[in-house]
Amino acid sequence: MKNKNQSFKILIVDDQEEYRDTLEMILQSNGYTTDIASSGQGALEKLKKENFHLVLTDFIMKGMNGIELLETIKRDYAETEVIIFTGYGSVKNAVDAIKKGAFTYFIKSHDPEELLLTIDKLIRLRDLQNKNSALLTDQESLQFMLDTSNERFKRTLDIAKKAAESNVNILILGESGAGKEVFARYIHKCSERNTDPFVAVNCHAFSEALLESELFGHEKGSFTGAHERRIGRFEAAHEGTLFLDEIGDTSLEIQVKLLRTIENKKIERIGSNKSIDVNFRLICATNRNIYRMVAENSFREDLFYRISTIVVEVPALRERREDLPELINFFFKKAQNDLKKDIIKIEPDVMRFLLNYHYPGNVRELKNIVERLVVLSDKGIVRTEDIADMRGRINFLQGNEDIKTLKEFRSEAESSYIQEILKICNYNMTETAKKLGISRRQLFNKLTEYGLR
């Protein structure tokens, strides 16, 4: 099994061979991946070819000293941390190094165990920063996904926010991929429980036996394969929010147990008769017609009323098409960041496709299509040929709308596309005309024709 420290790479820089080799041996024996350099210049040559998480460098070296190396690293390799080695007489200089960006300093004559503890602290701090950064990104994504120009979507958000202020059970209805979990997270964020856990369970993903164990937990030896005690999701969500996605896919037997837990706020782990108190906010969701399921007795009526004090219906993406330009732009930016690819141009037919496709898979499908287009992009260009296999799925009829003439459809598509490019160019007419491949005068005429401002 790979040691967790192996993924953390350290470069040791010291012109004293004996100390350098001893330190490398100590670090390697603790599982770290290391390399060595005998000078500051040698270290920079290695940094050009390879990424290191940490540089351990002596303060006093021939040629480039530790401070000069530190300044260069912080200028050219900002994410690489630096720890300075020093002797007792140079502590003041080491403190100055911290002011210039060093993580800390280490006195050479001290026990190497102190250095190991410092490196461990650095790794834990780095992991925490990465988690916080990921959390911030998730929160920003959540906020963007809920920005809308659609009045129905705004009303749905308002219902969700008001419901969040109470502790009632909420049922979220909507098509697959419409963003039901986004709404659940929004409700949790707006509630008084937002500092406690949000625990999500996809009920469709587990068999009946596994779902029971997942929800209620089990004791060691309670069934074959139960090698240790396991805490269930109800316990994990204590004081927070439990989100049961696709609750319409649960069996009648599981529904009975869910009803009992919701009513009593107590659970028993599988293999135990000891009751455990649980305090949670319940949000459920399904993409199935749960009203019909109740009528057909495939979903318990008493459970339905327990979980649906407030019902939130999330509109399908095709019902809020005015949000498409912003969502498309958002997912392109996100995909570029996640996939580390730059997009400099999106061919016009690609944008027409994205603005007029009816998205049976909703927001999830839009996200997947955009990611696919970014992956397939060539030299920063998203090409029409990459959507060729999807063109047959375009639905030009939306809901119960009348059939449009080809001229009307073209006008709507062109108008939407021009608005999107204007936004991308910060409403700079010259730059927009250039990207569209038309003259500034032609662009002005289009704006007048379509009544755009």
- Which band of pLDDT confidence, cut at 50, 70 and 90, is reported for residue 432? confident
Three-state secondary structure call for residue 85: strand
- The fraction of the chain above a pLDDT of 90, given in percent, is 41
- Cβ pair 216, 204 in contact under 8 A: no
- Which band of pLDDT confidence, cut at 50, 70 and 90, is reported for residue 132? very low
Distance CA 206, CA 223 (A): 17
The yes-or-no verdict on residue 12 having pLDDT over 70 is yes
Distance CA 217, CA 233 (A): 7
The yes-or-no verdict on residue 312 having pLDDT over 80 is yes
Average pLDDT, the chain: 85
The yes-or-no verdict on residue 431 having pLDDT over 60 is yes
Class for the domain spanning 4-129: alpha beta
415 Cβ contact list (under 8 Å, min separation 6):
450, 452
Three-state secondary structure call for residue 286: strand
The yes-or-no verdict on residue 224 having pLDDT over 90 is no
- Which band of pLDDT confidence, cut at 50, 70 and 90, is reported for residue 429? confident
- Cβ pair 219, 270 in contact under 8 A: yes
- Which band of pLDDT confidence, cut at 50, 70 and 90, is reported for residue 86? confident
Residue ranges per structural domain of the chain: 4-129, 150-315, 319-450
The yes-or-no verdict on residue 293 having pLDDT over 90 is yes
Residue-wise pLDDT tens digits, 28-74: 998 899 999 999 999 999 998 888 999 999 988 888 988 899 999 98
Q: What's the pLDDT score for residue 133?
A: 42
For residues 173-195, give the mean pLDDT.
Answer: 92
- Output the CA–CA distances (angstroms, integers) from residue 98 to 11, 77, 82, in the order listed: 18, 16, 9
126 Cβ contact list (under 8 Å, min separation 6):
53, 81
Handedness of CA 205, 200, 160, 310 (dihedral sign): positive
Q: What's the pLDDT score for residue 215?
A: 93
- Number of Cβ within 10 Å of residue 373's Cβ equals 22
Which overall architecture, per CATH, does domain 150-315 show? 3-Layer(aba) Sandwich (3.40)
Higher pLDDT, 269 or 388: 269
Tokens at 304, concatenated = 């339905």
- Cβ pair 203, 244 in contact under 8 A: yes
Phi and psi at 180, nearest 5°, equal -65, -40
The yes-or-no verdict on residue 400 having pLDDT over 50 is no
Q: Please enumerate, as own/partner, the contacts of 274-279 that have beta carbons within 8 Å and a separation of 24 or more.
A: 276/235, 278/234, 278/235, 278/237, 278/238, 279/238, 279/239
The yes-or-no verdict on residue 307 having pLDDT over 70 is yes
Residue whose tokens read 């609750």:
247
- Which band of pLDDT confidence, cut at 50, 70 and 90, is reported for residue 3? low
Closest alpha carbon to 105 in 62, 149, 60: 60
Helix (H) or strand (E) holding 94: helix 91-99
Pick from 137-146, 205-214, 239-248, 375-384: least confident: 137-146
Tokens at 37, concatenated = 């350099």
- Number of Cβ within 10 Å of residue 35's Cβ equals 14
The yes-or-no verdict on residue 310 having pLDDT over 90 is yes
For residues 88-98, give the mean pLDDT.
Answer: 69
> Fold identical between 4-129 and 319-450?
no
First to last CA, the chain: 62
Residue-wise pLDDT tens digits, 142-172: 666 678 889 999 999 999 999 999 999 999 9
- What letter represents residue 274's amino acid? K
Distance CA 123, CA 129 (A): 10
Q: What's the pLDDT score for residue 397?
A: 34
Handedness of CA 234, 240, 246, 248 (dihedral sign): positive
Distance CA 52, CA 33 (A): 10
Distance CA 280, CA 169 (A): 10
Residue-wise pLDDT tens digits, 62-85: 889 888 999 999 888 877 899 998
Tokens at 275, concatenated = 């009751």
- What letter represents residue 336's amino acid? Q
Residue-wise pLDDT tens digits, 314-365: 999 999 999 999 899 889 988 888 888 888 889 888 898 899 888 888 998 9
The yes-or-no verdict on residue 140 having pLDDT over 70 is no
- What letter represents residue 400's amino acid? N
Query: Angle formed by the axes of helices 324-339 and 406-424, to 10°?
Result: 50
For residues 407-420, give the mean pLDDT.
Answer: 75
- Cβ pair 215, 259 in contact under 8 A: no
Residue-wise pLDDT tens digits, 401-412: 445 566 666 777
For residues 121-128, give the mean pLDDT.
Answer: 76
Pick from 208-212, 408-412, 444-448: least confident: 408-412
Taken as a whole, the chain contains a residue count of 453
> How do beta strands 281-286 and 230-231 pair?
unpaired
- Which band of pLDDT confidence, cut at 50, 70 and 90, is reported for residue 434? confident
Distance CA 81, CA 103 (A): 6
DSSP of 341-371, one letter per residue?
A: ----EE-HHHHHHHHH---TTHHHHHHHHHH
Class for the domain spanning 319-450: mainly alpha
Per the DSSP assignment, residues forming a β-bridge with 284 are: 171, 244
- Cβ pair 148, 159 in contact under 8 A: no
Tokens at 425, concatenated = 């160019």
Phi and psi at 145, nearest 5°, equal -60, -20
- Which band of pLDDT confidence, cut at 50, 70 and 90, is reported for residue 134? very low
